[in-house]
Structure 1
């Protein structure tokens, strides 16, 4: 569910750590009139792709996804794997992409200014392009698409493009506070529902799974029909998660206006504090969500658990961001960043191709393995897919500046085909 194209240009030379490790390659690949990329942003985006893939793989493989009804036939290993994904990944990585979306928005503004172009028409065209891609993605491949949400809430960023960094941060805090208060009220209200009523709602939910399984194992038409049938419920969830997406957008906007990812060495002590505090707040909330989702705490907690997880997820996301940035300052972290960055440069292509591959595996488009595999083999396969994407991304980004879908979205954004100078001239390796 990523913030993707037109995202990683910044005006600065390469520095130490990952910056120095990538500096020569970036300088070789960049066109003379374009600034070097920020390798940390690309690496963070590549890291986020892994978390998104782990969550989406479980959601696309079975109706018993993380945070949903408990699969009574799941093995202890499968439940452990699903619980780990729910605690460490669910709700965190779409916020990381949202933060990077807001950060990259400032870079797009700077790019338009350098070229003497009006930023608003470009941004509106890009937003429309994201919405169309998201709609096709949701109908044909995966109803959990985030691109449409990004496109709609991205209109707020366009309206707020000239606000001060302080205003952006204050707005992010306000939006987060209001969204959290609303969700917590809903979660606390669920405690007044009896265990019998909660169990009844779970039974009603699982009763509809048989039809879903049949549709996804049927044929291509039944897959599309199943996706369309789930869209209303998905759209109803947008307002609930939209507040957290907007808060992450605005936080990214704040950081982008101050270029806080441009030379992170100035903020080492602050990042360490955020990392520790974020883990201290986010991990307990995530563990509570995982325990509630597993059914260990009883049916009454099945709604409050995800609520607490969503409210505390931004803290753990902040810890992930700062932890990765600190890690990338080490020699091993710099090598890891070199591995992740190419996948992050073509994150939109990778995000959509993940859904395509999983649709071919789990639905009637291909093997129709929906609800036939446990969480453990699904996650193992997702890790294999991610490794393949890292290798293919490195090869493709060694020859081109953009991934295929990024190139298409850039053409829509600019209302013209990208010129040759927009591509790298790096020799094949």
Structure 2
């Protein structure tokens, strides 16, 4: 999932020089994604019971996930991906690299992310996001060179269509869940379903991910996550307004999910649309809040903070490890633990899987081992030797503003 490499270059940035906030944000957001995915896998591999049907605890957990987690983790990750890609652009152009060279680098990175995402889907999980970010890098590398106004206008244009299409699809999909849950899940049917869903989900997720991506690029130009102490007032406002707006905007969808409200088709689409749009605010709010936490921590890097940062530095690897756990532990054709989980237990299970990946990342960090997925992507981006082309003698490529 990590569209942001641990390095701006081929050899990597030493951990001591890395900014805490982006890594901390990715590490924490993997918890959100893990609980959401476990919740989803419980529906795929479990008993087929509807959300909020088991008891008060399950209803409460489903309400909480709808308000604070679902459609809130992906926007933040898309923004962090944009932030990281912008860092590559800014650092490379500051070195004196010409724009065509940097654009080619970004697109090559995107192509390999699409390959990784496809293999992720083929082998493990239908809800892949890596290929979506790869498509953004491949198709929209040019926005890194645009002015702020054109950059954000591009994101808004994509969202104006993408969110509506996504909301319509999701509202329609929820009406067919019962039929899908009745189908027997085998390795073959699961594989066929993953491959059939992948192009559809990739396009849908692309439509709703471009806006937070462009906001991440905009934020990187101002170093909001690298130098949060310079933007405290702005970050406080974003955190407060964003999180409150996300909760308020999720209320209609929450009532649908706990089966307190059963609207017609148009209102179902409207509730889902508002949920996704408010999710943007929530994702940005969470990022701002974590940046404020990083400021409060300062140089205090205890074992928990270091472990979370190590997880963020290896976020693609940890994201893929989560998918391995879902398939190995939850699916009916493996250990089939999903059949015995209710909604609350599924969320706790997701949190436990995330905690294991945090421990793995911390151990890797202790021994100086980089994430294998990040290492592979860097190698494929920069070539087998891990060396960039010689820097041309021309002047530095200016950073667009406006």
Specify the TM-score bucket, using the shorter chain as the normaliser. Answer: 0.7 to 0.9
Which structure 2 residues correspond to residues 381-420 of structure 1 after superposition, within 5 A? 381-400=349-368, 402-418=370-386
Contact 1:40 1:337 in 2 (8 A): no
* 1:303–1:9 Cα change, 3 Å: same
> What is the aligned counterpart of 1:358 among 326, 331, 334?
326
> 1:306 maps to which residue?
272
* 1:73–1:277 Cα change, 3 Å: closer
Alignment length, in residue pairs? 375
Q: Which region of structure 1 is more displaced relative to structure 2, 236-245 or 343-352?
A: 236-245
Displacement after TM superposition at 1:279 (Å): 2.5
> 2:248 maps to which residue?
284
> What is the aligned counterpart of 1:346 among 273, 294, 314?
314
Q: Which runs of 5+ in 1 are unaligned?
A: 11-25, 31-35, 191-197, 216-221, 420-429
> What is the aligned counterpart of 1:330 among 284, 296, 317?
296
1:322-355 deviation digits (Å, cap 9, x = unpaired) = 1111122224996564341100000000000000
> 1:103 maps to which residue?
83
Which structure 2 residues correspond to residues 47-86 of structure 1 after superposition, within 5 A? 47-63=28-44, 70-71=50-51, 74-86=54-66
CA RMSD of aligned residues (A): 3.0
Pairing 1:148–2:142 present: no
Displacement after TM superposition at 1:126 (Å): 1.7
Q: Which region of structure 1 is more displaced relative to structure 2, 46-55 or 238-247?
A: 238-247
Q: Aligned equivalents of 2:52 and 2:284: distance in 1?
A: 34
1:368-416 deviation digits (Å, cap 9, x = unpaired) = 2343311122222222222222222122123336211111111111111
Displacement after TM superposition at 1:305 (Å): 2.5
Contact 2:316 2:374 in 1 (8 A): yes
Pairing 1:119–2:102 present: yes
SS in 1 for 2:340: coil
> 2:399 maps to which residue?
none
Displacement after TM superposition at 1:183 (Å): 6.4
SS in 2 for 1:272: helix
> What is the aligned counterpart of 2:181 among 209, 216, 223?
209
1:151-206 deviation digits (Å, cap 9, x = unpaired) = 1122233122311233313333343344456667x59xx8xxxxxxx9xx967531
* 1:235–1:253 Cα change, 3 Å: same
* 1:204–1:93 Cα change, 3 Å: closer
SS in 1 for 2:50: coil
Pairing 1:130–2:110 present: no
1:195-249 deviation digits (Å, cap 9, x = unpaired) = xxx9xx96753123121xx22xxxxxx3243232244345334444423200111
* 1:232–1:299 Cα change, 3 Å: farther
Contact 1:7 1:101 in 2 (8 A): no
Pairing 1:171–2:154 present: yes
Q: Which runs of 5+ in 2 are unaligned?
A: 388-402
> 1:227 maps to which residue?
191
TM-score, normalising length: structure 1: 0.78
Pairing 1:6–2:5 present: yes
Displacement after TM superposition at 1:123 (Å): 2.2
Contact 1:60 1:362 in 2 (8 A): yes
Contact 1:5 1:348 in 2 (8 A): no
TM-score, normalising length: structure 2: 0.83
